[in-house]
Amino acid sequence: QLQLQESGPGLVKPSETLSLTCIVSGGSMSDISHNWGWIRQAPGKGLEWIAMMYDGGYIFYNPSLKSRVTISVDSSRSQLSLKVRSVTAGDTAVYYCVRYTRFADYFDSWGQGILVTVSS
Amino acid sequence: QSALTQPPSASGSPGQSVTISCTGTSSDVGAYNFVSWYQQHPGNAPKLIIYEVTQRPSGVPDRFSGSKSGSSASLTVSGLQTEDEADYYCMSYTVAHTVIFGGGTKLTVL
């Protein structure tokens, strides 16, 4: 059974870089029928898609976050990474690592999520 | 990209049916039949309950159904049960190869 587990610091200072890692187990990240990405949810708010990587390394970003976000996939280590630069309190959220099924276009697997708070 | 439009709240009594709407544009909901719905209970990650407008993943009760007309999609929950009380989000693939969520609807079972 596929499992996704996010990890990283729970507290980041304003203007610094938020860095998270997701370990994928129980499945291959090289499967071309799936993409890998990140979604976040601010406290008491809705879901916000951040970015997604297709096979071949193509990455699509939420236009509102594109200038500050980088994602990468290391299939050999079954890892997905997220970096958000120049964070503010508005980046405080639960961050979810997700798997996306292509050609039917839906998120079929989610990590448990990790709360990241931006505060000095 | 602006979020898809959902009503902030919906409610119904046990056994009743409730429909939640999700309105987008010709660049997202209206462009493809790639609308999905997610259920989220407090403290938990979202769970897929509908994909490709009408399809239910294995294990999702047939009380949940989806539909679409033009740039608007809907989720109907029939025979409401107390465990259906949760937040519901629609999502669509877009012509820009991105995805976009609705703002979410809090479903209360009275």
Q: Which two tokens stand for residue B65?
A: 């159904």
What mean pLDDT is reported for chain A? 95
| Residue A57: per-residue pLDDT | 84
Distance between CA atoms of residues B57 and B51, nearest Å: 8
The answer to whether B105 and B54 have CB atoms below 8 angstroms apart is: no
- Asked if the Cβ–Cβ distance from B1 to A63 is below 8 Å, we say yes
Report the gap between the CA of B51 and the closest CA in chain A (Å): 6
Q: Which two tokens stand for residue B102?
A: 């609705």
Q: What is the pLDDT of residues A59-81, one digit of tens each?
A: 999 999 999 999 999 989 999 99
Q: Which two tokens stand for residue A5?
A: 């587990």
Q: How confident is the model at residue B2 (pLDDT cuts 50, 70, 90)?
A: confident
Distance between CA atoms of residues B10 and A85, nearest Å: 37
- Asked if the Cβ–Cβ distance from A52 to B99 is below 8 Å, we say yes
Residues of B in contact with A107 (CB under 8 A): 36, 38, 46, 48, 91
* Chain B nearest-CA residue for A101: B51
| Residue A16: per-residue pLDDT | 98
Q: Which of A43, A44, A45, A37 is nearest to A65 (CA)?
A: A37
| Residue A30: per-residue pLDDT | 86
The single-letter DSSP state of residue B4 is B
- Asked if the Cβ–Cβ distance from A64 to B1 is below 8 Å, we say yes
Q: What is the pLDDT of residues A28-53, one digit of tens each?
A: 888 889 999 999 999 999 999 999 99
Collapsed DSSP state (helix, strand, coil) of residue A75? helix
The answer to whether A82 and A73 have CB atoms below 8 angstroms apart is: no
Reply yes or no on whether the pLDDT at B41 is more than 90.
Answer: yes
- Asked if the Cβ–Cβ distance from B100 to A49 is below 8 Å, we say yes
Distance between CA atoms of residues A19 and A82, nearest Å: 6
Share of chain A above pLDDT 70, in %: 100
Residues of B in contact with A56 (CB under 8 A): none
Q: Maximum distance among all alpha carbons in chain A?
A: 43
Q: Which of B46, B98, B99 sits opposite A110 (nearest CB)?
A: B46
